[in-house]
Amino acid sequence: HQSSAIQVLSNAIQESKLPLRILISCRPEAAIQDAFNHRNVAHSIYRYALQGNSDEIRKYLESKFDEIKFNHHLATLRPPAWPNRSSVNRLVQKASGQFIYAATAMKYIASREDKPWDQLNIVLNISDIITGNKPFGELDMMYFHILEQAGDQYTVIKILRVIDFFQVDQKSYTQLINP
């Protein structure tokens, strides 16, 4: 899987006489970290963590909240001083330096189908209890909630099946879509 691909790339770089550089972008999952830490790989790589800092995430959230305040079709109904500083601080904290969390939260909050202030409360109250030591536990919990609340779960399942298509052959894909 990922770890064997990393090993193959490392071997190719070491055996090649060409000045070759490869950029790999990935989540910090245990198997991938272990592959990068392997003695045959570790000496030939440079690591750079692309986590955002809290100030950058705060600026992003504030700009997105401003867009909602001025552009959302329910903006005139919003509570005064929404969102409050405490809510923004909690979102920054829940993001843990991950822009993907902040971006996903803001897309959910800005939904045209619901009141943004209600959506913000949902995001802020998604359980903080995360099982295991998952680097994206908060994000996983938010995705779980969003999928769980989907009105047409049959369609969601079909979409997830299409996404999964890239991991199965054509015959299996046809069987999944047409059970």
Instruction: Give which of 119, 101, 102 is closest to 110, Cα–Cα.
Output: 119
Taking residues 24-31, what's their average pLDDT?
67
pLDDT reported for residue 173: 47
Taking residues 108-135, what's their average pLDDT?
78
pTM value surpassing 0.75: no
For 134-162, the pLDDT digits (tens) are 556 677 777 777 767 766 667 766 666 66
State the burial class of residue 57 (Cβ atoms within 10 Å of its Cβ: 0-12, 13-18, 19+).
Answer: buried
pLDDT above 70 as % of the chain: 66
For the cut 90, the answer to whether the pLDDT of residue 55 exceeds it is no
pLDDT reported for residue 135: 53
For the cut 50, the answer to whether the pLDDT of residue 131 exceeds it is no
Asked which of 2-16, 56-70, 163-177 is least confident by mean pLDDT, the reply is 163-177
Please list, in sequence order, all residues whose beta carbon lies within 8 angstroms of the beta carbon of residue 99, skipping any fewer than 6 positions away. Answer: 52, 56, 57, 60
Instruction: Give which of 58, 118, 112, 107 is closest to 82, Cα–Cα.
Output: 118
pLDDT reported for residue 127: 66
Answer whether 138's CB lies under 8 Å from 132's CB: no
Alpha-carbon gap, residue 141 to 153, rounded angstroms: 17
